[in-house]
Structure 1
Amino acid sequence: MRPTQDREIVGLQALRAFAAVAVVLHHALRASTINAPADMALVPSVLPAWLIEAGAGGVDVFFILSGFLMVYISGSYVQGRRPVSHFLQQRVLRVWPMYVLVTLYALKPALLHWWGTGERGFNLSAERLGGFFLLPSFNEHHLIQPIVGVGWTLSYEALFYLCFAAAILVAREHLFPALCAIVAAAFGVGLLMPDSSAWHGFLADPITLEFLFGAAIASFVNWRRQPRSASLMLVAAGLLLFGVFAHMELVSTHWRPISFGIAAALLFVGVLRLEGQVTWPRWVVMLGNASYSIYLVHVLVIYQLMPYAERAVRKYNLSLSADLLALMLTAGGVGVGVACYFLLEKPITTWLMRKPRRTGPAVLPVPVRPH
């Protein structure tokens, strides 16, 4: 296994930006085509359906990136310089506060209805409210999806955080094999659960393979100082495979971790190998920094903007194309996400992760010896 490091990789911010914008555009195109009101007179999209679905691959890039980063920064935990609890604490502080805020905002209609009528709707059931803690549950359509729809991916992130922490505790010198075994055990537990259980659908989904792809890249792939031309070919191959597998309609099947997972892995390794050879624009890095907020809020923004677009089309008899509307919705989702990053996510995370100042004399650490 390769030694892990903590050096920042700027290309990963570019990957985050690409993945976030791809997912926003995917949902915006679905909103202006498949999910558009039937009586909303839009000029049909010129894009094929498979290209619209290919944007969902941004999620697979996020999963591989997450698995890579956990192993990449694991050196201090593997060597015992930091406790595993520190890793879990950092992940909770990074992910959970913004997720709770966005979930509360999404619950606003249900909460107002409860306040006015005293009736608790579907989303205020105990099972659904478990989503605040990233516990999986079924939505109205019997899909594993929390109150904030995109939160299903965060439930898998939380699962992998726990698997990673367990792997360090169990076999820190053999981290990757231990990680594979623990993820496989979680998958086996899911298979043993009743088919009607949300936990069965959640744990027995092979999507967790994509985290292992990222962990394997960090553990075994030599990506530094590689030929630029070969790296660009990997990027092109990954993008091409996203289109091919979307055309084969594999995104919503159990083949997704293999199909979209391989495409995302090729794209990921290609961009990784370009580190130090490409200077990414500042705005791309900024979008990468804001990618979590963009990802969390964009669906809410898109479907809150849609009624305004619908009224404008009807009132002014506009001849608006579905593709142009999708670009406008994408701009809105990304713009609000960036604003949330600077106004909420960044200050909240900075405050929560600040190091406490010492008020007394420094105390030298005392090594703990077993009795």
Structure 2
Amino acid sequence: MAAVTKLENIQALRAIAALGVVLSHAHSRVERTYPSLISESFVDRFGGLSWIGHAGVDLFFVISGFIMIYVHFDDFATRNAPFQFFVKRLIRIVPIYWLLSATALALLFIEPSLFYHARSLDVEWIVSSFLFFPIRSETGVTTPLLGLGWTLNYEMYFYLIFAFCLFFRRSFLLPFMLIFFGTSILIGVLISPYKLFVILMTNWLLLEFFLGCLIGYAFRSGYNKLPLPLAVVLIVSAVATILAWVTFGPNHEIRGLPRFLWWGLPAASIVAALVLCPRLVDLKVPKWLLELGNASYSIYLTHIFTLPALALIQKRVDHIALLHPDAAIAVMIVVSAIAGYVFYRVVEKPITRLLTKRYRPMASARQKSATG
């Protein structure tokens, strides 16, 4: 696999998506800690502005599809490509997720009040949480141990589909994904599934990965002549569409087709504008934002520990408790970003580097064995 250059604007977009998710959860924490004060928050008064962060998940899914094609465009129908791709994805995703899931499990015993929902500790639910298999716990909880892990269930499913596509020529990818995901979604519409793993396999969110792949395919194929004015229109209209729903929509949290239309398509429009416009694709971004993009996975996973810890401190320290709600939200975002970045440098990056280094000899041996 040939090395490809990281696109700075996409890294910046990953940072923005992660911080958007933190914004939404920080608002929820402040609302739960000081319900009588949250009405003073601009974030709260401006419709459902706090929900805009949830659209960051859709942005992550589109970016994920784009990156898979951008990085692996030349790996289709090559020996060992599916195996190598999937192992590298496991190295990137699993160790940190398992470490933090184990931390969440320990905290359930030590301080269960840190979590929003009461959770049972039945073994099947715990094991399924570690294996990215969505099930309901005995008390009806639908999220895994690490609440945000529901998004990684989708990521892992997408990786399986993408790894399968790597067995074939590149031209196989987009038609197969469109037909497979489209048929799956149609089945979901017809049967309205209850079981979570069936909901996952038939969810409209899968089309967001497809759109990311489509954009990546266009970019790597040389279709990157989008005029700057059109790119700006795409970005502005996308942001306006997301804001329109969270401000005026009947329900800030949306699912299914409405979510795909109001959040998924705008997310794809933003990514397409940034990578298909020559004036924007090489856009230089501040180094700090680039670093936050590199650390976005750690920020995304660790902030669910940082926020409740800050909420506890906030309740126990009087002068912090008197902060304006928006100031409290801002502090939570900044501290979560810093904590996530430190975790990235101290934990995620060294572990990923170590496992990648150990995997290379195994991959070389497998390659030699396959070539005889």
Question: Are 1:328 and 2:331 an aligned pair?
Answer: yes
Q: Which residue identity does 2:230 align to in structure 1?
A: A
Q: Which residue identity does 1:44 align to in structure 2?
A: E
Contact 1:123 1:147 in 2 (8 A): no
Aligned residue runs from structure 1 range 81-160, under 5 A:
82-111=80-109, 122-138=120-136, 142=140, 144-160=142-158
Aligned to 1:230: 230
Question: Are 1:246 and 2:246 an aligned pair?
Answer: yes
CA distance in 1, matches of 2:285, 2:91: 28
Aligned residue runs from structure 1 range 219-298, under 5 A:
219-220=217-218, 224=224, 226-247=226-247, 248=249, 249=251, 251-254=253-256, 255-272=258-275, 273=277, 274-298=279-303
Identify which range, 88-97 or 253-262, moves more after superposition. Answer: 253-262
TM-score, with length taken from structure 1 = 0.84
What secondary structure is seen at the aligned counterpart in 2 of 1:354?
A: helix
1:36 positional shift = 2.9
| 1:188–1:135 CA distance, 2 compared to 1 (3 A) | farther
Aligned residue runs from structure 1 range 63-74, under 5 A:
63-74=61-72
CA distance in 1, matches of 2:312, 2:341: 22
What secondary structure is seen at the aligned counterpart in 2 of 1:76?
A: coil
Contact 2:17 2:56 in 1 (8 A): yes
1:289 positional shift = 0.3
Aligned to 1:311: 316
Q: Which residue identity does 2:56 align to in structure 1?
A: G
Q: Which residue identity does 2:334 align to in structure 1?
A: A
| 1:195–1:317 CA distance, 2 compared to 1 (3 A) | closer
Aligned residue runs from structure 1 range 343-358, under 5 A:
343-354=346-357
| 1:192–1:42 CA distance, 2 compared to 1 (3 A) | closer
Q: Any gaps of 5 or more consecutive residues in structure 2?
A: 113-118
1:353 positional shift = 0.7
1:186 positional shift = 4.7
| 1:173–1:366 CA distance, 2 compared to 1 (3 A) | farther
Question: Are 1:36 and 2:36 an aligned pair?
Answer: no
1:241 positional shift = 1.4
What secondary structure is seen at the aligned counterpart in 1 of 2:167?
A: helix
Contact 1:5 1:73 in 2 (8 A): yes
CA distance in 2, matches of 1:258, 1:123: 37
Aligned to 1:9: 7
CA distance in 1, matches of 2:320, 2:130: 42
| 1:60–1:368 CA distance, 2 compared to 1 (3 A) | same
| 1:16–1:316 CA distance, 2 compared to 1 (3 A) | closer
What secondary structure is seen at the aligned counterpart in 1 of 2:157?
A: helix
Q: Deviations over 1:154-212 (max 9, x none)?
A: 00000000111122325543211112233345546767988432223322321111111
Q: Which residue identity does 1:99 align to in structure 2?
A: Y
Q: Which residue identity does 2:254 align to in structure 1?
A: S
| Identity score, percent | 26
Identify which range, 214-223 or 65-74, moves more after superposition. Answer: 214-223
1:87 positional shift = 0.3
Q: How many correspondences in the alignment? A: 354
Q: Which residue identity does 2:136 align to in structure 1?
A: F
Contact 1:17 1:291 in 2 (8 A): yes
What secondary structure is seen at the aligned counterpart in 2 of 1:56?
A: helix
Aligned residue runs from structure 1 range 138-217, under 5 A:
138=136, 142=140, 144-169=142-167, 172-184=170-182, 186-187=184-185, 195-217=193-215
Q: Which residue identity does 1:283 align to in structure 2?
A: W
| 1:284–1:81 CA distance, 2 compared to 1 (3 A) | farther
TM-score, with length taken from structure 2 = 0.84
- Highest Rg: 1 or 2? 1
CA distance in 1, matches of 2:84, 2:367: 19
Contact 1:298 1:337 in 2 (8 A): yes
Computed over aligned residues only, the root mean square deviation of the Cα atoms, in angstroms, reads 3.1
What secondary structure is seen at the aligned counterpart in 2 of 1:97?
A: helix
Q: Deviations over 1:48-94 (max 9, x none)?
A: 23211112111111000001111222233214155210000000000
